[in-house]
Amino acid sequence: MKPESIQKYRPFPAVELPDRQWPSRTITHAPIWCSVDLRDGNQALPIPMSVEEKLEFFDVLCAIGFKQIEVGFPSAADTEFLFLRRLIDENRIPDDVTIQVLVQTREHLIRRTFEAIAGARRAIVHIYNSTSPLQRRVTFGDATREQIRDIAVEGAKLVRELVPTVPHTEVVLQYSPESFSDTELDFALECCNAVIGIWQPTPEKKMIINLPDTVQWTTPNIHADMIEWMCRHLDRRDSLDVSLHTHNDRGTGTAATELGLMAGADRVEGTLFGNGERTGNLDIVNVALNMNSHGIATGLDFSDLTSLRHVYERITRMTVGERHPYVGELVFTAFSGSHQDAIKKGLDRRDRETVEDPAIPWAVPYLTIDPQDVGRSYEAIIRINSQSGKGGIAYILDHEHGFDLPKTMHPQVGSYIYGHADAEGRELGNEEIGDLFFEKYVNLESPLHLLEFELDHTGKKDGELTCHATVKMGDEVIRGTGCGNGPINAFVHLLAELGYKTFKVTDYRSQALRGGSDADSAAYVQIQDSESGALLWGCGVDPSIEMAGLRALVSAWNLQHPTP
Ligand code: KIV
Ligand code: ZN
């Protein structure tokens, strides 16, 4: 902002709470969760959900494990009313799920709401009125505190009167001083205590006091102070579930909720992926998975986040950002070389350690949780662009294509492949990486091509053997013979006989190629150029391990003598 713009704004006042307790507390258990996707989320959609879409979404929320679901504002619109009636009349609400309905503290709306819930087994009736000085002044035309408190009191009395009109429904009562986030604490308390006085909750029949962070005006620590202050001062605290309902104007919905729980709240309202007015509501998925990542069970199942995201995106017509915690396309992906290296080392080490101790705690650099726990595969963890390193490329070749390259081969292959990504200026796909590796390093046949190879084990002492081979060099086909203590050694001597020995073999490794066709073997041969001393790796793939080694040697030789 420009300096002249900044002058418009003022600091937000702190809460006088010198003996605050929340900073030294930790979260040890999950709160009661309430999804407000079908209300707060829906009212914020450019195209609100249809009844059929809401029915589908409701089933999804039940399957996740929500036991409290705000199903809408049934007095506000026919679709909302109809949706609720379908849930009740078609017996769609599981026995362990309680629906919640929202209504302003206005007489005709409250009466209509009770008509809407008739027949439900259990329902939370949630009334609210706005309490902040700003709302009192601007929206309610300079209403006094007393006038605003009386709105809450009248609404609460009417609700108390209407409860007996739905004798087959167990009604749970909820009150929100809307705009709590910028209401004077003593006044928010006055309104809440007035409602508590009318509804007379008991520890056996609790009511809910919801303290909404309707608009985030300040930092999460001040929100936590406000919650702790309320928890200390509310009447009948043991008969209340204190509920949080954060929005995300400052991008701190999750932080405010977590600190609010430390400050003593029992319940959390929010939406999947933070859908909702303006910058959204609290992202419940985020908070629940944060808890899981500290070993806390939440009762919510987010083990297939990608499918959930797809359903959510289809029904809400919203999109989830690529960097969105836990669910975004890129959040378990490393492009940077150093991150890739560390992740690869972490995953490899974990593979080894879990053999000894399957319950060993998760500890992989850069990954706060195991992506598989939210239905993500390791395949997407490492992706290759020009920022990537040798470790990441080795990881892809290993995990995607089954090539377990010798460590000293990584730099050569890595710089070739990320050099390609750099030249292209884009990310390379896993298939493309495999193709590049094949084209550049595997079974190279030009200028030197091994056409035939036989081993003769007879007539030599001390395990020596003879090889006969036909090679093609350019257009010329040549046959030769060589002896050595193994096939590679024998072939090296054959090349020397033919005058092609311009190197020495400095390293060799072979492996069974995972995922290769019919148990192919892969071999890697490193040669050193006799003149320059340069080291070059080649790779061979063949059903026979011997031939794989020879092909690797020929590949390395061809890399040493590229055809112009
Ligand atoms: O954000 C808010 O204050 C609300 C209330 C109605 C609870 O959604
Ligand atoms: Zn809200």
Interval 402-459: pLDDT, tens: 999 999 999 999 999 989 988 988 888 889 999 999 999 999 999 999 999 998 877 6
Above pLDDT 90, what percent of the chain? 85
Tell me how far apart the alpha carbons of residues 544 and 522 are, in angstroms, rounded to a whole number. 9
Residue 224 sits in the same domain as residue 173: yes
Residue 427: the pLDDT is 86
Quick: pLDDT tens for 341-371: 888 889 989 999 999 999 999 999 999 999 9
Compute how many other C-beta atoms are within 10 angstroms of the C-beta atom of residue 30.
17
Q: Which of 416, 441, 466 is the last residue of a domain?
A: 441
Does this model's pTM top 0.85? no
195: CATH: 3.20.20.70
**Domain total in the chain:** 3
Q: Which of 282, 316, 350 is the last residue of a domain?
A: 316
> To 10 degrees, the CA torsion angle through 464, 465, 466, 471?
-110
Residue 428 resides in a domain:
yes
Residue 484 resides in a domain:
yes
Residue 119 sits in the same domain as residue 233: yes
Tell me how far apart the alpha carbons of residues 154 and 486 are, in angstroms, rounded to a whole number. 96
Q: Which atom of ligand 1 is nearest to the CA of 247?
A: 1
Residue 536, strand partner residues:
527
Residue 437 sits in the same domain as residue 453: no
Residue 306 sits in the same domain as residue 197: yes
Q: Which ligand is nearest to the CA of 282?
A: 2
Cα end-to-end span (Å), the chain: 59
What's the burial of 294, exposed, middle or buried (CB within 10 Å: 0-12/13-18/19+)? exposed
Ligand 1 binding pocket includes 41 (Cβ within 6 Å): no
Q: Which of 441, 475, 506 is the last residue of a domain?
A: 441
Ligand 1 binding pocket includes 72 (Cβ within 6 Å): no
Residue 503 resides in a domain:
yes
Task: Give the residue, 99 or 518, on which the prediction is more confident.
Answer: 99
Residue 545 sits in the same domain as residue 417: no
Binned at pLDDT 50, 70 and 90, residue 378 comes out as low
Tell me how far apart the alpha carbons of residues 515 and 169 are, in angstroms, rounded to a whole number. 60
Residue 7 resides in a domain:
no
Check whether 168 has a pLDDT greater than 90.
Answer: yes
Q: Which ligand is nearest to the CA of 129?
A: 1
Identify the weakest region by mean pLDDT among 23-27, 328-332, 375-379, 390-394.
Answer: 375-379
Residues spanned by the domain of 550 = 448-560
Residue 329 resides in a domain:
no
Residue 324 resides in a domain:
no
Quick: pLDDT tens for 460-507: 667 788 999 999 998 999 999 999 989 999 999 999 999 998 899 999
Residue 292 sits in the same domain as residue 409: no
Query: H/E/C letters for each residue in 16-27?
Result: CCCCCCHHHCCC
Binned at pLDDT 50, 70 and 90, residue 383 comes out as confident
Provide the total of helices (H) and of strands (E) in the chain, helices listed first: 18, 14
Residue 220 sits in the same domain as residue 301: yes
Tell me how far apart the alpha carbons of residues 225 and 264 are, in angstroms, rounded to a whole number. 10
Residue 469 resides in a domain:
yes
Binned at pLDDT 50, 70 and 90, residue 333 comes out as confident
Check whether 319 has a pLDDT greater than 60.
Answer: yes
Quick: pLDDT tens for 57-82: 999 999 999 999 999 999 999 989 99
Residue 297: the pLDDT is 98
Residue 311 sits in the same domain as residue 361: no
Residue 167 resides in a domain:
yes
- Distance from the alpha carbon of residue 212 to the mean position of ligand 2, in angstroms: 7
Residue 219: the pLDDT is 98
Q: In what helix (H) or strand (E) does residue 79 lie, and over which residues does it extend? A: helix 78-89
Residue 360: the pLDDT is 96
- Distance from the alpha carbon of residue 179 to the mean position of ligand 1, in angstroms: 7
> φ and ψ at 204, to 5 degrees?
-80, -30
- Average confidence score pLDDT of the chain: 94
528-556 mean pLDDT? 95
- What size, in residues, is the chain? 564
- Distance from the alpha carbon of residue 40 to the mean position of ligand 2, in angstroms: 6
Tell me how far apart the alpha carbons of residues 8 and 243 are, in angstroms, rounded to a whole number. 33
Helix, strand, coil % over all residues of the chain, rounded to 5: 45, 20, 35
Residue 148: the pLDDT is 98
> φ and ψ at 233, to 5 degrees?
-105, -15
Residue 170, strand partner residues:
122
Ligand 1 binding pocket includes 182 (Cβ within 6 Å): no
Buried b (16+ CB within 10 A) or exposed e, 412-426: bbbeebbebbeeeee
User: Which mutation among 214, 247, 275, 277 tests ligand 1's pocket best, with the greatest number of atoms within 8 A of CB?
Assistant: 214
Residue 472 sits in the same domain as residue 355: no
Tell me how far apart the alpha carbons of residues 481 and 22 are, in angstroms, rounded to a whole number. 82
- What residue ranges in 105-204 does DSSP mark as E strands? 122-130, 170-178
Residue 507, strand partner residues:
526
Binned at pLDDT 50, 70 and 90, residue 515 comes out as low
- Distance from the alpha carbon of residue 153 to the mean position of ligand 1, in angstroms: 18
Residue 344: the pLDDT is 84
Q: Identify whether the C-beta of residue 472 lies closer than 8 Å to the C-beta of residue 449.
A: yes
Q: Identify whether the C-beta of residue 371 lies closer than 8 Å to the C-beta of residue 381.
A: yes
Check whether 384 has a pLDDT greater than 80.
Answer: no
Ligand 1 binding pocket includes 276 (Cβ within 6 Å): no
Binned at pLDDT 50, 70 and 90, residue 380 comes out as low
Ligand 1 binding pocket includes 269 (Cβ within 6 Å): no
Residue 432 sits in the same domain as residue 466: no
Check whether 312 has a pLDDT greater than 60.
Answer: yes
- Distance from the alpha carbon of residue 76 to the mean position of ligand 1, in angstroms: 15
Residue 473 sits in the same domain as residue 498: yes
Identify the weakest region by mean pLDDT among 90-94, 232-236, 408-412, 426-430.
Answer: 426-430
Please state at what angle helix 185-199 crosses helix 220-233, rounded to 10 degrees: 40
Tell me how far apart the alpha carbons of residues 23 and 25 are, in angstroms, rounded to a whole number. 6
Residue 556 sits in the same domain as residue 419: no
Binned at pLDDT 50, 70 and 90, residue 381 comes out as confident
Ligand 1 binding pocket includes 178 (Cβ within 6 Å): yes
546: CATH: 3.30.160.270
Residue 456: the pLDDT is 86
436: CATH: 1.10.287.1400
Check whether 516 has a pLDDT greater than 60.
Answer: no
